[in-house]
């Protein structure tokens, strides 16, 4: 029995077995094997991105972005769960799962989608799945992935468990067990706020809003469209935002100031939301800021928050905080 974890996000999908972690853009595309074989160097495909899942031949992640003629990417929660979550989740855990061996899987959902979509996501994943991994050299590796149990938890609790538990799933950071903790988890689609009081989930202090990083990316894409006349897909802005420049049809645009402006505006919006939500929770002991968006917005957001904000570890990829915590929680549940 293997315990695995996957965080199927709107921006990135992540997975870990506790030894190796991976992440890729949450894009699904139709496979184009001929072009794939000719265009992609083996060194670029250390982790598989080409799969047949129950007979459907697909690329995922950056391979889909660069090679697929038809690509799918959505920020609609219902559509995401029904059409893409299963494919992305299976693609993420396939390299870790052994043929036929039972898998127990922990994953998460944003707070406001949790009750509505938890059962649907469980049904999508908890089953036997026929998956073929097509490696860069064309070699086919067929697997029957048997997910015998799925546990879906509110997404921000992944980061809380990552702080609270060690690599064996044992509680080691007692403050997260005994104190009242606020978690701000900023993803691509949502900003999630959750309160844990002595590990008990607080409904009153927990909420999802639409203030994910896509708000800033939409503003950047809109400004670029006005300047260049070209509509840029949001997932193609990730690297440009990091660099501060983008080349469109031969012209290079400096977006450094635009990025800073949109990030400042988004941080202000999130601060208003969380400070209002936690107005009665003035006894929160500390605030955990997490998620890829949390790391990006930290310098803008930290001065606007009311409370003691924990420093984010500089040696960790914040995008993996939740999935690392999911795995630790799975070990706590199933490997006592």
Instruction: Please report, rounded to a whole number, the percentage of residues in the chain having pLDDT higher than 70.
Output: 96
pLDDT band of 314, cuts 50, 70, 90: confident
The rounded mean pLDDT for the chain is: 92
Q: Do 124 and 53 touch, CB atoms closer than 8 A? A: no
* Averaged pLDDT, 276-289: 95
* Averaged pLDDT, 116-131: 96
DSSP-assigned letter for residue 212 = S
Q: How far apart are CA 279 and CA 179, in angstroms?
A: 18
State yes or no: pLDDT of 53 exceeds 60: yes
Packing angle of the helix pair 213-228, 292-301 (nearest 10 deg):
80
Residue 218 has what pLDDT? 97
- Which residues on adjacent β-strands are paired with residue 25? 12
Instruction: Please report, rounded to a whole number, the percentage of residues in the chain having pLDDT higher than 90.
Output: 84
Digit-coded pLDDT (tens) for 171-221: 998 899 999 999 999 999 999 999 999 989 898 899 999 999 999 999 999
Residue 38 has what pLDDT? 47
pTM (predicted TM-score): 0.92
State yes or no: pLDDT of 45 exceeds 70: no
Residue 43 has what pLDDT? 44
Q: How far apart are CA 167 and CA 33, in angstroms?
A: 39
* Averaged pLDDT, 212-241: 96
Q: CB 13: neighbour CB atoms within 10 A?
A: 27
State yes or no: pLDDT of 36 exceeds 70: no
């Amino acid at each position: 029995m293997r315990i695995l974890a996957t965080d199927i996000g709107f921006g990135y999908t992540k997975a870990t077995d506790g030894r190796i972690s991976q992440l890729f853009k949450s894009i699904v595309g139709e496979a184009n094997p001929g072009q794939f074989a000719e265009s992609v160097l083996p060194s670029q495909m250390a982790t598989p991105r080409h799969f047949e899942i129950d007979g459907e031949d697909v690329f995922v992640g950056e391979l889909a972005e660069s090679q697929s003629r038809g690509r799918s990417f959505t920020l609609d929660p219902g559509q995401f769960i029904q059409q893409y979550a299963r494919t992305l989740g299976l693609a993420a855990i396939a390299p870790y799962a052994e043929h036929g061996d039972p898998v127990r899987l922990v994953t998460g959902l944003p707070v406001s989608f949790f009750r509505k979509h938890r059962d649907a996501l469980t049904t999508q994943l908890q089953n036997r799945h026929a998956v073929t991994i097509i490696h860069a050299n064309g070699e086919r590796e067929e697997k029957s992935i048997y997910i015998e149990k799925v546990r879906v938890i509110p997404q921000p609790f992944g980061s809380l468990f990552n702080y609270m538990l060690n690599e064996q799933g044992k509680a080691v950071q007692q403050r997260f067990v005994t104190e009242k903790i606020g978690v701000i988890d900023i993803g691509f689609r949502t900003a999630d706020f959750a309160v844990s009081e002595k590990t008990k989930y607080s409904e009153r202090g927990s909420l999802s809003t639409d203030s994910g990083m896509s708000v800033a990316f939409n503003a950047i894409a809109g400004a670029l469209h006005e300047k260049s006349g070209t509509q840029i897909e949001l997932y193609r802005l990730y690297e440009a935002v990091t660099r501060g420049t983008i080349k469109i049809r031969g012209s290079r645009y400096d977006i450094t100031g635009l990025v800073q402006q949109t990030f400042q505006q988004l941080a202000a919006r999130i601060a208003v939301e969380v400070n209002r939500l936690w107005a009665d929770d003035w006894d929160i002991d500390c605030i955990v800021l997490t998620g890829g968006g949390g790391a990006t917005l930290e310098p803008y957001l930290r001065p606007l928050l009311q409370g003691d904000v924990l420093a984010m570890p500089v040696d960790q990829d914040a995008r993996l905080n939740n999935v690392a915590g999911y795995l630790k929680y799975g070990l706590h549940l199933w490997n006592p």
